[in-house]
Amino acid sequence: MIDSYKHKGLRKKLIREIRKKGIKSEKVLEAMEKVPRHYFMESGFGEFAYKDQAFPIAKGQTISQPFTVAFQTELLDLKKHEKVLEVGTGSGYQTAILLEMGAKVYSIERYRELYLKAKKILEEMGYQPYLFYGDGYKGQPTYAPYDKILITAGASEIPRELLDQLKVGGKMVVPLGSQLGQDMTVVEKTGPNDTKKHKHGSFIFVPLIRGKDSNENN
């Protein structure tokens, strides 16, 4: 893992670009300037790490576009030491941004290969996330309730079990829609059975899929 001057320079440029696209939170921008995104991509594709684009990772999944990571993180409105449940660890990049911002992060991934890779890199970087291989639809009731829940895959509806694991007063950020496109939605839990929803523009994510993948031998 080498974070060269060239990488740092490219990262500064990327941060300027996403600031221009409308990200205002200095805390989010600072975290993104610190975390080397190329650590989360296959070596050889490092040159793509500092373009504002999603990129394929293993198992037909993607590392989200930097702007999207910044946008979802900004909407989460994190306070230090808050407990965050992330569904869809993927590469672990978004997880690292949350950790860098001081959150206590619980993250679930349905592909064992991705879970293992993310665990390795995040631990090598010195972070201490709580990572799980399993079905994110079910959340992680053992550690509930959470202050915030972040879903990084497109859902057709708000997963009920996840809403149950959110604190009253907490927020869930979830791309809601069909496979063709989703509305970035902030769901505020205003009471044990009450929510308020706000939409924040259209995005396209890989789908949230029920069940953990069990066709794997590794």
Chain residues binding ligand SAH by CB under 6 A are 61-64, 87-88, 90-91, 93-94, 108-111, 114, 135-137, 152-153, 206, 208-210
Kindly tell me which of 25 and 94 has the beta carbon lying closer to ligand SAH. 94
Tokens of 21: 């696209």
Terminal Cα distance for the chain, rounded: 24
Minimum Å distance from CB 185 to ligand SAH?
A: 16
Minimum Å distance from CB 88 to ligand SAH?
A: 3
Kindly tell me which of 123 and 168 has the beta carbon lying closer to ligand SAH. 123
Specify whether the CB–CB gap between 73 and 24 falls below 8 A.
no
> CA-based diameter of the chain, in Å?
51
**Angle made by CA atoms 120, 91, 167, in degrees to the nearest 5:** 95
Kindly tell me which of 71 and 111 has the beta carbon lying closer to ligand SAH. 111
Q: For residues 63 and 51, give the distance between their C-alpha atoms in angstroms, rounded to a whole number.
A: 12
Kindly tell me which of 169 and 211 has the beta carbon lying closer to ligand SAH. 211
List of residues 6+ apart from 165 with CB closer than 8 A:
85, 139, 140, 141, 144, 145, 146, 149
Minimum Å distance from CB 129 to ligand SAH?
A: 12
Q: For residues 137 and 110, give the distance between their C-alpha atoms in angstroms, rounded to a whole number.
A: 10
The residues carrying an active-site annotation are 64
Tokens of 147: 């202050």
Minimum Å distance from CB 105 to ligand SAH?
A: 11
